[in-house]
């Protein structure tokens, strides 16, 4: 397992997960100027890549075959409590009902979205991760 010690990075690391190959490639290209992007096309592949890296943010589509995005975020954010999650979905009603059910551990974004909306949300998530990582590494038991 990767040592979660705070190490200087040239760019924040984003694990981007989507089963739509074209969307995954396009979004990755959009983000690569500002972030180091690791891609996966499903939840199982994402878990393997997550285990080999130390992403700041896991950004995942909700609707994928097999493991859905919520399941993936629960697993990754439980494994490393300081990681921030972003759930993307084309189903506005689903995201709104998730928010009402207390989906407060991750950020939500409805597809289609403006490219800068995703970049801004990832930057916000990176800030959350930075704070959560400091608390986690300093031994605090209370991390949001």
**Mean pLDDT value across the chain:** 85
Reported confidence tier of residue 96, pLDDT bands at 50, 70, 90:
low
CB 36 within 8 A of CB 59: no
Region 83-91: what's the mean pLDDT? Answer: 89
pLDDT for position 61: 94
* pLDDT per residue as tens digits for the range 57-67: 999 999 899 99
Collect all residues with Cβ–Cβ distance below 8 Å to 142 and sequence separation of at least 6: 135
10 Å CB burial of residue 48 (0-12, 13-18, 19+) is exposed
Instruction: Report whether pLDDT(112) > 80.
Output: yes
Region 75-101: what's the mean pLDDT? Answer: 79
Hey, which CATH number is domain 13-137, 3.40.50.150, 1.10.10.10, 3.40.50.2300, 3.60.10.10?
A: 3.40.50.2300
pLDDT for position 121: 95
Percent of the chain with pLDDT over 90: 60
Instruction: Report whether pLDDT(26) > 80.
Output: yes
In the chain, domain spans: 13-137
What's the order of all strands across the beta sheet hosting 13-17? 36-40, 13-17, 57-61, 84-89, 106-110
Residue found by looking up tokens 């084309």 in the block: 90
pLDDT for position 8: 64
On the question of a cis peptide bond just before residue 32, with omega within 30 degrees of 0, the verdict is no
pLDDT for position 139: 61
């Amino acid at each position: 397992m990767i040592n979660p010690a705070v190490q200087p990075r040239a760019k924040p690391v984003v694990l981007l997960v989507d089963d739509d190959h074209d969307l995954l490639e396009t979004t990755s290209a959009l983000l690569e100027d500002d972030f180091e992007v690791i891609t996966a096309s499903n939840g199982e592949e994402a878990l393997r890549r997550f285990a080999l890296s130390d992403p700041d943010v896991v950004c995942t589509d909700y609707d994928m075959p097999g493991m859905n995005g919520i399941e993936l975020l629960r697993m990754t954010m439980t494994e490393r409590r300081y990681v921030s999650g972003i759930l993307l979905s084309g189903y506005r009603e689903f995201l709104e009902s998730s928010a009402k059910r207390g989906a407060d551990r991750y950020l939500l974004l409805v597809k289609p979205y403006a490219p800068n909306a995703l970049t801004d949300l990832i930057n916000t998530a990176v800030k959350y991760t930075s704070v959560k990582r400091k608390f986690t590494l300093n031994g605090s038991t209370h991390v949001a």
